[in-house]
Structure 1
């Protein structure tokens, strides 16, 4: 379980989140307007940015975990992958998910390679395994990111705008994979896509004006959505079924 205690986050003297305290016991979707702090919250949980307050993971201050310990608990999937080796292949990238379990980058064994291959095959990417990352489409890279997160064998997976910049077909594929992963992992979904959040069907944490509002249910109705987003919203059409 993740617990936030008086969490505040700021950028260049602008407070984004202020004194937020809540528990995240299982699946949750984080929604809110642009700039409300959705990705900021995820990055704070992953210790990628500085913050004030305390974040606990399994009743232990997450700041006391070292990087490998934390990676065994949480996998963060960014909106877009930024890589610095243009020759890195998909299979090499997915294999890097095993690093939290190893002593060095040259310590991978046959077991690690089999785990990586299993997840590459799971997403029907085997024909692309030796291809460089730079040659993959956005949809293929999105699947590769999930394959690496599963290879990491973390119990919690954070998806940060997983369907951004994807065409409808690939967005639907990703949506179904996320929903299926709820059976085996705790999922934290950050998205602007109301159709995706509705399909995944997690409790909702809505961020707005530095504060967090938790909805166990009854979030996806016209009145609530229109009030929170300050715009008229009519019933959501089924998009990912």
Structure 2
């Protein structure tokens, strides 16, 4: 799976005439004010909101994929990472990313644990892998769920505010990991400067519509930002990107 196409997507006045196409290894950032439809758009892509004839993966309607087939092709991070029942450890949660590849009653393989271990190391979790999830801080929980998504090793990653709860070090490390991944990453993000530095393509949403899309330099202009956020920004070129200041 390498392409995502969204055609004439409208939803309850929340999304209006959305037409998008994604392909290849890149990081796509969706930015915009609260309530602009960003999360609702993601929920349509990963089929949390059922749709027919509007969202396609490699020219196949998303509605036609089985749950397991979808999970082998798309990994998802939602904004809510507290909904974990029981006293599961970090390792037990991260290895769940391998679930789409195992038979129903089979145990996880040695390879599954190696993959999970690699991504725990990537996100600084390896030395605490036996710690129970419920005892973690918000930022640690976020890193666990990101490691789980990476362990799924899918062509497409759908991430709703992946830098939530993270300190500046891990915000940067997460964005670097996403930029270095082999996946098409589609993510919402509120940090405009991080999106300018690490995203190859940006979609600026407002009131359920696509206000602008293109490279960060094309989208994050003073005029666009004022029109959408109602705030005066200073936008300066920095090397091959732009930096935004209040």
TM-score, length of structure 1 as denominator length = 0.88
The answer (yes or no) to whether the contact 1:158–1:188 under 8 Å persists in 2 is yes
Given that residues 8 and 51 in structure 1 are in contact (C-alpha distance below 8 angstroms), is that contact kept between their aligned partners in structure 2?
no
Q: State the secondary structure of the residue aligned to 1:166.
A: coil
Partners in 2 of 1:23 and 1:76 — Cα distance?
19
Partner of 1:150: 150
Q: 2:211 aligns with which of 210, 213, 217?
A: 213
Structure 1 unaligned segments of length 5 or more: list them: none
Q: Do the aligned partners of residues 129 and 99 (structure 1) sit closer, same or farther apart at CA in structure 2, a change above 3 Å counting?
A: same
Partner of 2:8: 6
User: Can you list the C-alpha shifts for 1:90-119, whole angstroms capped at 9, x where unaligned?
Assistant: 100011111111122543222212221222
- The match for 1:192 is 190
Structure 1 counterpart of 2:66 = 66
The alignment's C-alpha RMSD in Å is 2.1
Counterpart CA distance in 1 for 2:4 and 2:140 is: 31
1:74 Cα shift? 0.9
Offset from partner CA, 1:145-172 (integer Å, 9 cap, x none)? 2211121111111221112233333323
In structure 2, what is the Cα distance between the partners aligned to 1:202 and 1:160?
A: 17
More deviation in 66-75 or 114-123? 114-123
State how many pairs are aligned: 233
Closer/same/farther in 2, CA of residues 84 and 124 from structure 1, 3 Å limit: closer
> Secondary structure of 2:234's match?
coil
- Partner residue, 2:239: none
CA contact (8 A) 2:30 2:38 kept: yes
Provide Cα deviations, 1:56-109, integer angstroms capped at 9, x if missing partner: 001100110011111111111122313332301110001111111112254322
Q: Secondary structure at the match of 1:91?
A: helix
Counterpart residue number, 1:23: 21
Q: Is the 8 A contact 1:6 1:20 kept in 2?
A: yes
Aligned to 2:166: 166
- Residues 25-45 of structure 1 show CA distances to partners (whole Å, capped at 9, x for unaligned) of 243111111111101111111
SS in 2 for 1:235: strand
Partner in structure 2 of residue 57 of structure 1: 57
Instruction: Confirm or deny that 1:97 pairs with 2:97.
Output: yes
CA 1:195/1:128 → structure 2, altered by over 3 Å: closer, same or farther?
A: same
Displacement of 1:211: 1.5
Give the distance between the partners of 1:169 and 1:119, measured in 2 at CA: 17
SS of the residue aligned with 1:188? strand
